[in-house]
Chains A and B, each alone.
Chain A
Amino acid sequence: MGRPLIHRSPMPGLGLSMGITLTMLSIVVLLPIGALLLKGATFGLGNMWDVVNSERTWAALFLSFRLSLFAALFNLVFGVMLAWVLVRYRFPGRRLLDAAVDLPFALPTAVAGIALTALYAPNGAFGQLAAEIGWRIAYTQYGIFLALVFVGLPFVTRTVQPVIEEIEREVEEASATLGASRAYTIRRVILPMLTPAALTGFALSLARAVGEYGSVIFIAGNIPLVTEIAPLLIVIQLEEFDYDSAAAIGIAMLVISFAMLLAINLIQVWSRRRIGYV
């Protein structure tokens, strides 16, 4: 104790920079989130539970979180593989592939949504092929999965890439000279080094997928209980001016996302402790 709140510093601009930071943070982020929580508080915990406890809301929340988890898991595996390929291998078109990884960040979600739908709808280029083997992609949960994979694609690759670049070849050589096969080295030496960064990417990808709206609603079909995601349910409640129900679902989503992120953080702390910082 006795530590001052703000240490004295010869640097200028303390008042100005602190003022701008706290004022804008409050107006743009904190007060609006406070308004959501206040709405929930005045609506009451019991009433909120009644909204969330309906069959339709449960189905939407379960769908959103389940498919987001699957999409983030896919992105975890694919992202680590892609990062490995981009850093370690040299092949024609590598630069292009590397730059394209960021496209889902730059492309507006509504554009991604209609483009994926055009491709994977039953009359689209890939949708027709899938239809021949009796597989419907757009307007089913597969379509939602596809859109969520798209929006979360860059996260794992971009967090893992710098870590792979920093791995010392000597470590792999040491493992090889001690008689480990290549597969064993990858499994026991390289993958553990990538785990913390991969988990960070996984968490970011998951958080993004859970809240995703723009790319999903076009390809989802939006059938209640089947392909209706939680954010869409909020939009529907808002269009009926039912702010209480919208706030209840919004708070439920916030609580579940934070619980998931907290769990991932704990796993990360545990894996860092086990493996050490790399």
Chain B
Amino acid sequence: MSDATATTRFRSATEETPLTRWLLVGLGAAGMALLVFAPLIAVFAEALADGWLAAVESLGNRDARSAIQLTLTIAAISVPLNAAFGIAAAWFITKFDFRGKAFLITLIDLPFSVSPVVAGLCIVLMFGTNSLVGGWLVANGYPIVFALPGIVLATMFVTFPFVARELIPVMIEQGRAEEEAALTLGASGWRTFWTVTLPNIRWALLYGVLLCNARAMGEFGAVAVVSGKIRGQTATMPITIEMLYNEYLSVAAFSMAAVLTVLALVTLLLKTALELRHADQLAATHRH
């Protein structure tokens, strides 16, 4: 930036006029206010419409507690599994040379271009009672669809690429030299992974897990299709929000929404902190 006097009297040739600048800033801020900040405030305003007590009370009943518990359970299962997948996939893709690598990456990215509802539909068709696999599993007492495993699978489908996408560019950039050195010095494969690779990718891994977790706890479309929406059993927090909202229980719906909003804000805060402190070790900050 040039100093203030230069911008007022002699505008640099690579800057817009002050009027243009303030117009653009104003437009950007106004758009963000209408689209992002206002809805954010609306969630809390609606939740607290009848006061703190009503909001807190609505979260205390049995169905609300079971929804919170279910959402936490789903995230606790699907996020570590996707993190394990992301690490394995990134290792496979960046440490070895094989044919069809670009195709494999495309397949891993596939869930991003599939509608969550279609993702749920795929899970239903694969594991539903009427399908070959699902029918067999149900006959043996392991229902997938309209039960926890189905919700976990649907959640994993929509969050599938998150960790892998974050790790692959970072691990490509870091190359293989450090691992090769460790191996030459006699370290075992696992020891190399734990003491060389993991410390190098920990912030990128955390970043991917953070985004994966936010999406896992908030997923609606895919879960709506496979959950069956059984109150107290297969209704996650987002599904409960929908049910309460459709029953005109506005305070209860927005109180539950406020809990998820706080989670989203914490996620953003941690994400921003990671980007500020460890920008050099993240893919997102220098991705095209």
Instruction: Give chain A's interface residues, CB within 8 Å of chain B.
Output: 3, 5-7, 9-14, 16-18, 20-21, 24-25, 27-36, 38-39, 78, 81-82, 84-86, 89-91, 93, 97, 99-112, 114-116, 118-119, 124-126, 146, 149-150, 153, 158-159, 162-163, 169, 172-173, 176-177, 182, 185, 197, 200, 204, 207-208, 210-214, 218, 231-232, 234-235, 238, 243, 246-247, 250, 253-254, 257-258, 261
Contact = CB atoms under 8 A, between A and B. Distances in A.
A25 B111 CA distance: 11
A32 B125 contact: yes
A5 B96 CA distance: 11
A111 B260 contact: yes
A250 B121 contact: yes
B21 A108 contact: no
Question: Interface centre among A25, A158, A173, A185, by most B CB within 10 Å?
Answer: A25
A247 B121 contact: yes
A107 B245 contact: no
B113 A257 contact: yes
Nearest to A116: B39
B65 interface: no
A177 B14 CA distance: 10
A16 B125 CA distance: 29
Nearest to A211: B115
A107 B34 CA distance: 16
B75 interface: no
Given A12-B189, A35-B131, A234-B121, A6 B98 contact: yes
A17 B89 contact: yes
Q: List the 6 closest pairs (A to B, CB-CB), nearest first.
A: A211-B115, A108-B218, A12-B189, A214-B220, A176-B13, A32-B122
Interface stretch (B53-61, B135-143, B152-160): B152-160
B204 interface: no
B36 A100 contact: yes
A259 to B, nearest CB: 11
A91 B272 contact: no
A49 B25 CA distance: 49
Contacts of A27: 153
Contact of A32 (B13, B108, B157, B221): B157
B62 interface: no
A114 B257 contact: yes
Contacts of B42: 115, 118-119, 124-125
Interface of B: 1, 13-17, 21, 24-25, 27-29, 31-32, 34-40, 42-43, 46, 81, 84-85, 88-89, 91-93, 95-99, 104, 107-108, 110-119, 121-128, 130-131, 153, 156-157, 160, 176, 179-180, 183, 188-189, 192-193, 211, 214-215, 217-221, 224-225, 237-239, 241-242, 245, 253-254, 257, 260-261, 264-265, 267-269, 271-272, 284-288
Given A24-B85, A102-B271, A118-B42, A162 B285 contact: yes
Given A213-B224, A234-B117, A35 B126 contact: yes
Nearest to B266: A106
Contact of B113 (A7, A90, A185, A258): A258
A253 B35 contact: no
Question: Interface centre among B35, B115, B284, by most A CB within 10 Å?
Answer: B115
10 contacts: A5-B98, A11-B183, A13-B95, A110-B220, A111-B241, A111-B257, A114-B241, A114-B253, A207-B112, A243-B124
Question: Interface centre among A111, A114, A124, A261, by most B CB within 10 Å?
Answer: A111
Given A114-B245, A182-B13, A211-B116, A84 B24 contact: yes
Given A28-B157, A150-B35, A253 B115 contact: yes
A91 B153 CA distance: 45
B220 A109 contact: yes
Contacts of B188: 12
